[in-house]
Amino acid sequence: MKGKVLAIIAIALLLVGGAFFLSNKSTKPGQYDAFAKCLSEKGVKMYGAFWCTHCKNQKKEFGTSFQYVNYIECSTPNGNGQLAVCKDANITGYPTWEFADGERLEGVVPLDKLAEKSQCQI
């Protein structure tokens, strides 16, 4: 009986400690948070697909700040087709960056080029 109580206490402490660690980790701002937010505020969108290696590389450039980018997933869940939102936008390659003026850049775009085109500071 005493062993079960100690085990329950140990598990509870691990859960509380884990929750504390995760909550502290997620509140740390990303290096490009302001930049990514600015892109979204200026109407910049990134079209991509979860299976796309170039999209993964582009996301890595932003790190945790990518959560603020206006990202549109184009792939069907099974990876075998394109969603209507991307078909309707005539997206033919990934990633595709679209700006408020309608201009598009395809492929992995350096952050400084995104900054120049959007007038957002890195």
Looking at residue 58, which CATH number applies to its domain? 3.40.30.10
- Report the predicted TM-score, pTM, of the whole model to 2 decimal places: 0.77
Q: Which residues contact 2 (CB under 8 A, 6 or more apart)?
A: none
Q: What is the pLDDT of residue 28?
A: 85
Q: What is the pLDDT of residue 95?
A: 98
DSSP-derived letter for residue 84 is: H
- Which parts of the chain sit beneath pLDDT 70? 1-27
Do 25 and 45 belong to one domain? no
Q: What is the pLDDT of residue 105?
A: 98
Q: Is 30 exposed, middle or buried (0-12, 13-18, 19+ CB in 10 A)?
A: middle
**Residue 106 lies in domain:** 33-118
Do 42 and 66 belong to one domain? yes
- Give the count of beta carbons closer than 10 Å to the beta carbon of residue 7: 10
Domains in the chain, number:
2
CA distance 100 to 108: 19
